[in-house]
Structure 1
Amino acid sequence: MRTATVPPPRVPRLGRGWYLAAVLSAVLAVGMCLLGWRQADQADRIAAHPVRVEGVVTQLPTGGGTYSSVSYQVGGQPHTAAALPLADGTRLGDAVCLEHAADDAGAVRICGDTYPQPVGVGLARFSVPVAVVLFAVCVLRIWRHRRAVAVRAGQGRLAANLALATEALADGMPAITHGKRSRRKRRVGGRRGQH
């Protein structure tokens, strides 16, 4: 009895980059949402009960990833605010008008601004939709890949079952055919003997 070998169906490979992109886009979307929510929350708390103080510029932003830094005091306690949007031409030691929330001295912004860090809010508004779209594209691609793998696996099982059924039928056919032929030969031989 000869066993028919059915080659396994060829499963398309999906690069790990799709999974990595899905994870990174989800992390980016969540992180930017948290950043935007924190900025909005601080802006609301400052607007509810603003307290004005005077700060001093201790560091200026540079192109090397260094942010601005402004020092100020609240109730005799020193505080530092980073990445505030300073006006053009600001120098070290210049005085800056700040306003902070009455219940949180760390929630501080430049006087007249809406958010402590408007650049972060703008970045969140732009990056969150992009990250969500990228995440959706990656998830759709991964889902299609898994569906194609499932379909091909089902086709492979069907092909294997058909091959086994065909083989079993082919193995049974010679006996049936041989029996019929032998009967015909006997009948023909018998008639020849009678004549």
Structure 2
Amino acid sequence: MRSATVPPPRFPRLGRGWYLTAVLSAVLAVGMCLLGWRQAEQADRIGAHPVRVEGTVTQLAAGGGSYSTVSYRAVGQQHTAAALPLADGVKVGDTVCLEHAADDAGAVRVCGDTYPQPFGVGLARFSVPVAIVLLVVCLMRIRRHRRDVAVRSGQNRIATTVALATGALAEGMPAITHGKRSRRKRRSAGRRGLH
């Protein structure tokens, strides 16, 4: 008796780029949310009890990842603030007006600004929705692929069962028919012997 061999079903694989994009967009969304939350939290603390001080520009942003730095004295200690939005035309050695939180001299912003680093807040407001939309699209694509694979594997299981049952039935038919014929021959031979 031959056994029917059915090759295992092959499904198109989903590219790893979908999973990688989902992870990166989730990390970006979380990181930008934390950045925006940190900026808002510092702005609230400064706004609750602002303390004005004079700062001195010690470095200007020159591109390539460098930031402007401003040094200031608060609570009897020297502090440095980086990446503050300075006005155009400011030079090294110029003084700028700063205000820091009364309970945290490290939370500082330029006088008149809402956030210590408005660029970071603007970036968070733009990038977080984009990252969330991208994450949702990737998750929907991954979920649809898994659902399609589950449906196809279920259909292939049914088709395999039917094929195996049909093959077994087809191979077993001659034996069944032959058995019936042999029984008929024996009965007819027995009746002839009685006559």
**TM-score for the superposition, normalised by structure 2:** 0.90
Q: 1:6–1:159: 8 Å Cα contact kept in structure 2? A: no
User: 1:51·1:100 contact (CA, 8 Å) conserved in 2?
Assistant: yes
Q: Specify the code of the residue in structure 1 equivalent to 2:40.
A: A
Could you list the per-position Cα deviations for residues 14-54 of structure 1 after superposition, in whole angstroms to 9, with x for gaps in the alignment? 11111111110000000000000010011111110000000
1:151 deviation in Å?
A: 1.7
Contact 2:73 2:79 (C-alpha < 8 Å) held by counterparts: yes
Q: How does 1:1-195 map to 2 (within 5 A)?
A: 1-179=1-179
Secondary structure at the counterpart of residue 92 of structure 1 = coil
CA distance in structure 1 between the aligned counterparts of 2:81 and 2:183, rounded to whole angstroms: 105
Q: How many residues align?
A: 189
Listed as ranges, the gaps of 5+ residues in structure 2 are 188-195
The one-letter code of the counterpart of 1:4 is: A
Q: CA deviation at 1:101?
A: 0.4
Q: Distance in 1 between matches of 2:140 and 2:118?
A: 34
How far off its partner does 1:155 sit? 2.1
- Please report the RMSD computed on the Cα atoms of aligned residues, expressed in angstroms: 2.0
Percent identity over the alignment is 81
For residues 54-99 of structure 1, give each alpha carbon's deviation from its aligned partner in whole angstroms, at most 9, with x where no partner exists. 0000010122121110000112201000000000000000000000
- SS across alignment from 2:178: helix
How far has the Cα of 1:171 moved from its partner? 2.1
Query: Residue type matched to 1:3 in 2?
Result: S
CA distance in 2, matches of 1:91, 1:129: 37
Contact 2:55 2:95 in 1 (8 A): yes
- Given that 2:72 and 2:79 are in contact with CA atoms closer than 8 Å, whether structure 1 keeps it comes out as yes
Q: Partners of 2:155 and 2:29 in 1: how far apart?
A: 39
Code of the residue aligned with 1:178 in structure 2: it is H
- What is the SS of the residue equivalent to 1:58? strand
**Poorly superposed stretches of 4+, deviation over 4 Å:** 179-187
- SS class of match (1:4): coil
| SS of alignment partner, residue 54 of structure 1 | strand
The one-letter code matched in structure 2 to 1:74 is A
Which letter maps to 2:118? P
